[in-house]
């Protein structure tokens, strides 16, 4: 199973495109790990910063992943997204000071994240 992050999108109208829809339930844990690995690598590489509320409703807040030639979005709760961001920013800054509360809702960001310049088009 190979998963690639292929872009970011505004996903409130794309919930039917959830990338996990066609994954065998026995593979779900491994699938989630691979999705998050691809997402975290992109966040760390580019130092993206946006919170859980942006992930769910902001422009380009949802990662678009490709699995076996099919693309779909990866949507999680705001708190879970906060945890993903905390893990990434702890690695970026080589610290342990962040937890999900720092990123789950209304982060202090001045502008749209840079990755929003080119939204993934389905």
The tokens of 119 are what?
A: 């939204």
Residue 88 resides in a domain: yes
Does 122 reside within a domain?
no
Return the structure tokens found at 65: 């992943």
- Give the domain extent around 13: 3-115
Whether 29 is in a domain gets the answer yes
In the chain, the number of structural domains is: 1
Q: Does residue 120 lie within any of the structural domains?
A: no
- Specify if 121 maps to a domain: no
- pLDDT tens digits for range 40-53: 999 999 888 888 98
DSSP 12-45: TT-GGGBGGGGS-GGGHHHHHHHHHHHHHHHHHH
pLDDT in tens, 79-93: 999 999 999 999 999
**Which tens digit of pLDDT belongs to each residue from 10-23?**
866 665 566 665 56
Residue 48 inside a domain? The answer is yes
């Amino acid at each position: 199973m190979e998963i690639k992050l292929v872009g970011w999108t505004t996903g409130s109208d794309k919930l039917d495109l959830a990338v996990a829809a066609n994954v065998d339930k026995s593979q779900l844990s491994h699938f989630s790990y691979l999705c998050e690995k691809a997402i975290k690598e992109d966040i760390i590489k580019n130092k993206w910063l946006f919170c859980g509320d942006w992930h769910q409703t902001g422009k380009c807040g949802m990662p678009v992943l490709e699995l076996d030639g099919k693309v779909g979005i990866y949507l999680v709760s705001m708190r879970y997204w906060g945890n993903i961001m905390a893990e990434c920013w702890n690695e970026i800054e080589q610290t342990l000071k962040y937890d999900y509360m720092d990123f789950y809702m209304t982060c202090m960001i001045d502008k749209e994240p840079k990755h929003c310049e080119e939204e993934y088009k389905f």
